[in-house]
Structure 1
Amino acid sequence: MAVAEKKNVKGINNDGQTWPQVLAILIVCLVPFTCDLFFSWSSPFLLKIINDKSIYDISEEEGSYFTVIPPISMILTSIFFSNLNDKLGRKPTILINSVPHIIAWILTATATNVWMFYASRLVAGIADGLMFASVPMYIGEITTPKVRGVWGNALNFAIYLGQFAITAIGSYCDVKQTSYICICFPVIHISLFYFMPESPYFYIMKGRFEEARESLRWLRKKHDVEEDFILLKADVERQMSESGTWKDLLTINSNRKALFAGVFLRISQQLGGISVFVVYTQYIFQKSGGNLSPQVSSMIFVGTLCILNLVGGYTLDLFGRRLSYIVSLATCGIVLLIESVYFYIDQFETQIDIKFLNWIPITGMMIFVLFYSFGLGVVPTLMLGELFSASVKAKGLSVLTALFGILVCTITKLFHVLTTNFGLYSPFLLFSVNCLVSTILAIYLIPETKGKTLEQIQQSLKGSKKTNENNGVKTNPSP
């Protein structure tokens, strides 16, 4: 009989509850929410700052680096964060995250020249590196497979909610007003997350077993967690018994599979164009024309992305990670190809009258968002906390965080270069080709993690038959 079906000797119901795990996830997600307030900040403010010569006197070329600096900062600093989670703990590392956020908002509010904006973007990038190194790990370790399958996507939802919030706020407020509003969120995060528990994984890694039991009691809301603790302790100790050097990321087969899967997921996602569409939303809709204003179009785009991403988390447990990702890639590739053809005809085949098709940019992007939200937008971030063994998790996440920064930096700048030199159709063509090629590669590179504990995922990467236990008589209730 599973642990969740037992009662303790005192007659107290020991089924446990999931709401504490959900509460911890929602509070920790204030960090990615704030990160993406910064990430998407350039979408509503780039045009405003460039056009406001009386206060800022910043050129379009100078402004284009607003999108590049945070990922560069994330790349340069993420490697230093790889050991923080294992030395300080997941919780302290996440709490530290709000410090650079507060500093960055103060710099943005008081900025009068391009260098102060650059400084704020640099500090915001540090927070991005901290977030990706700690939050996915924390969510993966405090949740059971059932909770992680539904609520693990909260991180993605927080990201897109942040993008929508900054788009909406930025449409009605200036730079200074927006900064004063947004500085409240990291302050709220510090105030609430201080009361959340540390990951039981971390306590077990450090031999602090009674604290691990207390963490499990809080997260599961159960009186008797001994069997949960014993199973989790065995899983963590087995994973920690493996060598965990940087070299082992490539030399141990299961680690190598996890790393390659993570690298592929990040590359295929970012080359799908989402970072560009988010930071250049209003710019794209202004250049493409249409019946709606760039501000309204961008709010519709990001709002739809936010809502659909919330729904997308539920579909993963129905169809699985791999199938959802493959279908998402294929459909997004086709939509982006249609967009590319439209922009090419609009710019270079002016003898063809396509005014009656000016609904295509916004409609195409809405269709893109629909299918993106059920795969591309969900799977890569969710699997960050699932793929790696405890022995190399911090190192693996730091590599993927640095890669994410490189991709965002490169692709957002590449969009500016391609659009300036070849036209708006060219980046859409590049993104389309990536999605279509990645559709085939996904079949071979992405492991299925649906319904599995973190230990079962590791056994799956090793090729062990133990991974089928979750479909049999007994399911390990540990994270």
Structure 2
Amino acid sequence: MERGRIAQYLAVFALSLSTAAIGTLSGWPTPVIPKINNNETFVDITKDELATLLAMSPPGYVAGSLVNRFITDSLGRRATILASAVPIICGTIITSFARVSWLLYIMHMLWGVGAGMISTVIGIYLAEIVDKDIRATLSTCTKFMFNFGNLMIISIGPFVSYNAINYSLVMLPVVYFAACAFIPESPYYYLKEGKVDHARKSLLKLKDKETAEQELELMKGHVSKEMRNSTSAWELFTGKQYRKPLVIAFGLKLAQIMTGGRSIQQYMGLITQEIGLDVKVSTLLIIFGAFKFAVGVMSSTVIDRVGRRSVLIYSFLSTGICLAIAGLYFFLQEVIRVDHSVLKAYGTVAFIAIILSNGLSIGFNSIIGVISAEIFPLNVKSVAMTSVNVLSGCLGFVVAKSYQAINNVAGFWGVFWAFASIALAGALFSYMTAPETKGKSLEEIQEMLQINTASSDEDEKLSDIEVIEMVENCRESKESRKGGIL
């Protein structure tokens, strides 16, 4: 194996530790909510307060994404990943001694801030350092580790005390901070800042020496073209060339969040109790987590072979069908009121449909972040990814708060059929708009989407001095525009 490829794998492994930490924190409510309902904790919290607690993570996610917008381009991708550990560490410390609901609100919001920072920057970083033929596979590995963190907390959580769960979380951000301290900075970031020598050194760590200089020349041409354009949010939302990637990224993110996978996982303990199977909730949660983890392993091996677009379409479609089947079970239980002794025999079908829906959703959950990082050019990538994650946080808050409200009005059948409708709509949207980016470089993807960032052929190869001068001219132009506005 080439030395550069090994460096890429090691960098992705370090990043995967951060997503494993986020996955553990994301799965925290799954074993904790049954403990709260069974009065196994010292926290005094009502059902409405619990719904508010779960809804606090999305606003934190938005805040983290907005913070990320400024530090990703100013301090770098690597520094942003390291900074994300700070709110997570603070949140886990609060969890260890919180005894009232409002402290848990703060904890969950801080976790959301860290998750927003990581999810925004990790897609950008991987798209910029990983070879195009393994980009989707390695990006999926970070999602695989997210599911591994989920599996650990879901499997162990039911068998240990509430305090033991919380104390075990403290070391997670410390571990990934230590691992990510050694990853190289993105060469694209260095070129964007005019630091060509730093970019060369970073590239030599990530690529084979024989091709590193050639790739540096290509990167310099790519960066110089894209840096000619404005990087403001106004340009992103008003520029016609960005309209297509915006529609794709926002539409996919809308479908992803509104299918309600996270809410289903968080309330999985209560949902399984409602089905009424003659199996312990702890056992059902382990089955749920193990299946989701297994699907994540399989998806990481086939995603670059099958292609992004196919995975999107079929994972949305299959998720929608499974959610509809689960909704049918609850419709018979809650509306038709079929006798429990008759319906109980089909409870296993409903449970399998639920875990299948959550497991199969890994397909689009893994791919959507990859596509969003690929389809935007460098000059607006940070702004675009932040905007997508802000939308994600807002939608996540809506789903978390409306889940219980819909359940109160229409029951579980209404919740599952609403999620199923959105998943099926996501399949249709993916079929109509999603591009196939498998095996394509970032430059080829921009050309495919007809994003006009190209210049003349003379700009394909630029000297280090020309790149630095171009970056400085771009900065001076932006500063003069700001001065004119002020």
Q: 1:179 aligns with which of 147, 166, 169?
A: 166
Q: Say which of 74, 77, 81 aligns to 2:68.
A: 81
* Structure 2 Cα separation of the partners of residues 54 and 303 of structure 1: 26
Q: Which residue of 2 aligns with 1:365?
A: 354
1:45-444 correspondence runs (5 A): 45-52=32-39, 55-222=42-209, 225-352=212-339, 353-373=342-362, 375-444=363-432
- Do 2:258 and 2:419's aligned partners in 1 also have CA atoms closer than 8 Å? yes
* 1:116 shift after superposition: 1.6
For the 8 Å contact 2:64–2:115, the answer to whether it is kept is no
* Identical positions, percent: 25
In 2 relative to 1, CA 49–355 (structure 1 residues): closer, same or farther, beyond 3 Å? closer
String of CA shifts for 1:97-142, please: whole Å, max 9, x gaps: 1111111111001111112211211211211221122111111111
Q: Distance in 2 between matches of 1:361 and 1:266?
A: 27
Contact conserved, 1:109 with 1:175, CA < 8 A, in 2? no
Q: Show the counterpart of 2:483.
A: none
Check conservation: 1:258, 1:387, Cα contact below 8 A.
Answer: yes
The structure where helix makes up a greater share of residues is 2
**1:2-81 to 2 correspondences below 5 Å:** 16-52=3-39, 55-81=42-68
1:66-119 CA-partner distances (Å, limit 9, x unpaired): 210011122244223212111000001110111111111110011111122112
Instruction: Kindly provide the amino acid, as one letter, of the partner of residue 248 in structure 1.
Output: E
Alignment of structure 1 residues 456-467 onto 2, 5 Å: 456-462=444-450
Q: CA deviation at 1:384?
A: 3.0
Return the alpha-carbon distance in structure 2 between the equivalents of residues 247 and 422 of structure 1.
Answer: 41
Distance verdict in 2 for CA 1:181–1:121, change over 3 Å: same
Contact 2:155–2:289 (CA under 8 A) maintained in structure 1:
no
Kindly state the Cα deviation for residue 27 of structure 1 after the two structures are TM-superposed: 0.5
Local SS of the residue matching 1:241: coil
* Matched letter for residue 434 of structure 2: I
Read off the aligned partner of 1:122 and give its amino acid letter: M
Describe the superposition over 1:230-258 as per-residue Cα deviations: whole angstroms up to 9, x where unpaired.
Answer: 11111122222222221221233342211
Instruction: State the 1:449 CA deviation.
Output: 0.8
* Counterpart position of 1:3: none
Instruction: Check the 8 A contact 1:21/1:147 in 2, yes or no.
Output: no
Greater CA drift, 200-209 or 55-64: 55-64
CA shift at 1:221, angstroms? 4.7
Q: Label 1:347 to 1:91 Cα distance change in 2 as closer, same or farther (>3 A).
A: same
CA distance in 2, matches of 1:334, 1:32: 29
SS of match in other structure, 1:232: helix
Q: CA deviation at 1:302?
A: 2.1
Counterpart contact for 1:31–1:97, Cα < 8 Å: no
CA contact (8 A) 2:65 2:389 kept: yes
Secondary structure of 1:38's counterpart equals helix
Deviation at 1:344, TM superposition (A): 0.9
Distance 2:63 2:118 in 1: 14
Q: After the TM superposition, which segments of 4 or more aligned residues of structure 1 sit over 6 Å from their partners?
A: none
TM-score relative to the length of structure 1: 0.89
User: Residue 107 of structure 1 aligns to which amino acid in structure 2?
Assistant: I
Per-residue CA distance 1:409-439 (angstroms, 9 max, x = gap): 1112211111122211111000111122222
State the Cα distance separating 1:463 from its structure 2 match.
6.9
- Aligned equivalents of 2:42 and 2:360: distance in 1? 41
Equivalent position of 2:479 in the other structure: none
What letter corresponds to residue 406 of structure 2 in structure 1? L
Change over 3 Å in CA distance of 1:298–1:254 after alignment to 2 = farther
Q: Which position in structure 1 is the counterpart of 2:477?
A: none
Deviation of 1:53 after TM superposition, in Å, equals: 7.3
Question: In the TM superposition, what is the alpha-carbon distance from 1:308 to its structure 2 partner?
Answer: 0.8
CA contact (8 A) 2:32 2:162 kept: yes
Alpha-carbon separation, structure 2, partners of 1:234 and 1:16: 25
Equivalences, count = 451
Q: Aligned partners of 1:158 and 1:54: how far apart in 2? A: 28
Could you tell me how far apart the structure 2 residues matched to 1:257 and 1:294 are?
A: 45
Aligned position for 2:474? none
Q: CA deviation at 1:314?
A: 2.8
Greater mean deviation of Cα atoms: 443-452 or 30-39: 30-39
Q: Is the 8 A contact 2:242 2:451 kept in 1?
A: no
Structure 2 unaligned runs (5+)? 455-486
1:451 equivalent in structure 2? 439
User: Matches of 2:198 and 2:46 in 1, distance apart?
Assistant: 55
* Aligned-residue offset at 1:203: 0.6
Paired AA for residue 439 in structure 2: G
